[in-house]
Amino acid sequence: MTLTERILHGPAVPPAGICTAAFSGGADSTALLLCLHELKAQLSLDLRAVHVHHGIRGAEADRDAAFCAHICEKYGILLQTVHVDVPAYAAAHRLSEETAARRLRYEALEQSAPEGVIVTAHHAGDNAETVLFHLIRGSGLRGLCGIPPKNGRILRPMLEAEKSEILAYLQTRGEAFVEDSTNLGSESSRNRIRHDIMPLLLRENPAALRHIAATAALAAEDDALLHEQAAAAAEACAFQGGLRGLSAYPAPLRKRVYMQMLAALPVHVDPSLELLSAVDRLVMQNGGRISVSADVYAQVHRDVLYLRQEPAALSGEYPLEPGENRLYAGKTCIAELLEAGAISRNLHKADTYSTLDFDKIIGTPYFRERRGTDTIRLPGRNFDSTLKKCVQAKVPAPERRFLYVLYDRLGCIYCEQVGIAARVRPDADSRRLLTLRISRG
């Protein structure tokens, strides 16, 4: 089977329409671009290319850009060259230059090709190196799935092709390519795997690449099933911002649920085995709290697991704004001012929990952190209660620290999950009603 035939009959053949190839000028991306050019009419492709100049390797990088421009001009392929500053980005985000280059490269591809699909020149050798790289690092099942042939708009049509096929294709066509000198050294882990470990594996078994790819494909099927089952378990256990009853599920599903919860956080947290096991101990012992990262905590209270980023405490007073009031990460207080006739619910029941008579508020209402001296007189009572005791009675411990609490000139008039003050309770004479709703996410 020729390289062109392998692409045509592979799992990631590009559909008709705009197809943008990541084009570095190396052997792999040159072969991919030329194969797609051969298939352009047959697949009805609007073939384009993007070259990313990383701002490193000096004159060599300029040479690569010039080579890509020459090839695209020769074959009439529209080319965009995007310049990025990898060293500056790596320093600003505390990343290795290899990681920074990969991140910037994909960002540049997404921005330069907003329509159609994007194709990259990953091949079977890259796939095997990725599996070994994750295996050595101690990654779980997801890391052993290798490189997916499809990932959203990203397609990898040559993933089943071996490097020898790619080089043979270019030699047959008499096409040149450029060599990235950083790929020849042994500074990076991937280069050491490529130059030192892979030759030994291929000497042991010439079919090692195919076998690794087959194992990765089976792992990907298992991973997809576990992911689906974990999502269903999380949905079934959802309870007031946390998950209740996870201890009834098998350990592999529980840990997959923790991974999904970590991935949903606004900050990156590495789902290491040690961390997943620590969270699982909290769930199985039904209590406790651990730090997950600088400002992310996992806590179990009354069989409910909470995993969240905890923002800094409010440092002052924040006037109530109409619409969304975003004071805490992952939780918004939505305020709406309505005419009394716009609400049809019983004002003496449900509405008194989170609906206030706006005209009874003294001064400008504002949010701030609750204090130990705060008090509130709830509807139906003839005495004041400390806000602290009300919160302890009604709010789960993990949620007590960051509550939306509203005040006016005379004191507290609303506390999330506790209710409103009796003095701002709507009645039959109310004309304007302030409704407050907490939205998570």
Residue ranges of the domains in the chain? 3-216, 244-309, 318-440
Average pLDDT, the chain: 89
Q: What contacts 134, CB < 8 A, 6 or more positions away?
A: 143, 144
CATH fold of 3-216: Rossmann fold (3.40.50)
Tens digit of pLDDT for each residue in 112-155? 999 999 999 999 999 999 999 888 887 788 889 999 999 999 99
pLDDT bin (cut points 50, 70, 90) of residue 407 is: very high
Q: Of 37, 204, 53, 26, whose CA–CA distance to 123 is shortest?
A: 26
Res 344 pLDDT > 60: no
Tokens of 107: 């960002």
Structure token pair of residue 291: 């730090």
Task: State how far the Cα of 333 lies from the Cα of 353, in Å rounded to an integer.
Answer: 14
Distance CA 84, CA 68 (A): 17
Using CB atoms within 10 Å of the CB of residue 131, give its burial: 0 to 12 exposed, 13 to 18 middle, 19+ buried.
buried
Point out which residues pair with 80 in neighbouring strands. 50
Q: Looking at the predicted structure, is the pLDDT value of residue 11 above 60?
A: yes
pLDDT given at position 154: 94
Supply the pLDDT for residue 339.
86
Per-residue pLDDT tens digits for 48-83:
999 999 878 788 889 999 999 999 999 999 999 999
pLDDT in tens, 380-389: 898 999 999 9
Q: 318-440: what CATH class?
A: alpha beta
pLDDT, tens digit, 9 for 90 and up, residues 354-370: 899 999 999 999 999 99
Mean pLDDT over residues 159-171, rounded?
A: 93
CA distances from 396 to 313, 367, 400, 422 (A): 18, 21, 7, 23
pLDDT surpasses 70 at 351 = no
pLDDT value at residue 186? 65
| 260: enclosing H helix or E strand | helix 251-263
pLDDT at position 343:
58
Cα separation values, 432 from 243, 403, 419, Å: 37, 25, 18
From 32-41, 47-56, 177-186, 354-363, the region with the lowest mean pLDDT = 177-186
Higher-confidence residue: 294 or 73? 73
